[in-house]
Amino acid sequence: MEDGHGRATPTWLALREPADAAARSSELVDALVDALAGTDTDADLAAAGRRRERRAPGRRLVVHDLGCGTGSMSRWLAPLLPGPQHWVLLDRDADLLAVAATRVPERAAGGAAVTLESHQRDITRLGPDGLSGSDLVTASALLDMLTGAELDRFVRSCAAARCPVLVTLSVVGRVSLEPADPFDRQVEAAFNAHQRRTVGGHRLLGPDGARAAVDAFGRLGFDVLRRPSPWLLEAQDRELVREWFTGWLGAALEQDPSLVARAGTYAERRLAEASAGRLAVTVQHEDVLALPR
C-alpha cells in the first residue's frame, strides 16, 4: 500500500482505482452538477429557498484536485461533469504526478474537452489564496491523513475560494470480513488507533476526519451533504483484498505489538481465503460535499 516512507505507491493506487470508482457516491455527483448549474441540490436546500449563482454557459470549469496521486479522481469525475474543464493536480509526490500527467481524463459529459496541469506542492500548507480561481475543489482518501490544524487550513482555503468542495473515500473506522473471525475486531481497533497516531508531535484525525470536516465547513457557512461510499470487495477483487488486508494488519501490528503472537496463523488463514476468492471485505468510507451558501 505504501513504500518505506509512508507514501502511496503507483501500483497500490492503480489496484484500488476501480474499487474507488465503484464506491464513490453518485448521489453527491448529481447534487454537485445541480450546484454548478445554479439549481437546488436537494429538498432541504430547496425548502430553505437558497439557490446558487448560475455559471456562464460554456465557461471552462476549473478544478483543483488536492493530493491527486496518479489522478484517479479526475479520470472518474471529469466524464460525469458537463462542459469544458481544466484540472489543476496538486501532490507532493513527483513520481505520482508524473503518472497523472500522462493519463488525461476522458472527455467531459457531452464531449467537451478536458485539460490538466500538475504541480508538486504540499497541500497541507495551502495559504488563504492557494485555491483562488477554482470553481470546484476535490480530494480523495485525504481527510483521515490530516491533523486538526491541517484540516482547518484546508477548510479555510476552500472557504476563501467560495466554491463547492467534494471529498471522497474518507475512512470511518469500520470494516467487516466474511467469514468473520473474533480476532478481526482487535485488529480493527489497533488499526484505528494507528490511524489516530501522533506524527511529529501532531495527532492525525484518522477515522474522525470526515466528521471533523463536516463540522468545520458548517461553521464557515457551507451546506454539507454526506453519503456512505463503501468498498464492497468480493472474489473478483482478490488481489486488492490481499493487498488491503496485508496493509491493514501490518498497521495494526505496528500500533499494538502484543497482537503479533496471534497474527501469524490469522494472516495465513485470511490470505489463503483471499487467494481462493472466499474472503469478502467491506471497508466503510464517507463522501462529503460542501456547498457555499
What cell was used for 5? 516512507
pLDDT band at 236 (very low <50, low <70, confident <90, very high): very high
CB 68 within 8 A of CB 120: no
- Grid cell digits, residue 273: 481465503
Using CA atoms, how far residue 229 sits from 83, 184, 223, 279, in Å, is 26, 21, 19, 20
pLDDT at 9: 93
Of 144, 132, 293, 136, the closest CA to residue 223 belongs to 293
In tens, the pLDDT along 77-127 reads 999 999 999 999 999 999 999 999 999 898 999 999 999 999 999 999 988
61 in Cβ contact with 85 (< 8 Å): yes
pLDDT digits (tens, 9 = 90+) for 38-60: 854 444 444 434 444 455 556 89
Query: Is residue 35 classed as helix, strand or coil in its secondary structure?
Result: helix
pLDDT for the residue numbered 127: 85
Per cent of the chain over pLDDT 90 is 86
pLDDT in the model for residue 106: 81
pLDDT on residue 128: 82
Entry pTM: 0.92
**DSSP-derived 3-state class of residue 84:** coil
Q: Mean per-residue pLDDT for 157-176?
A: 97
**Closest residue by Cα to residue 290 from 127, 137, 171, 77:** 137
Residue environment code for 141-155, b if the CB has 16+ CB neighbours within 10 A, otherwise e:
bbbbbbbeebbbbbb
C-alpha cell at 168: 471522497
Domain 10-172+202-231+284-292 of CATH type 3.40.50.150? yes
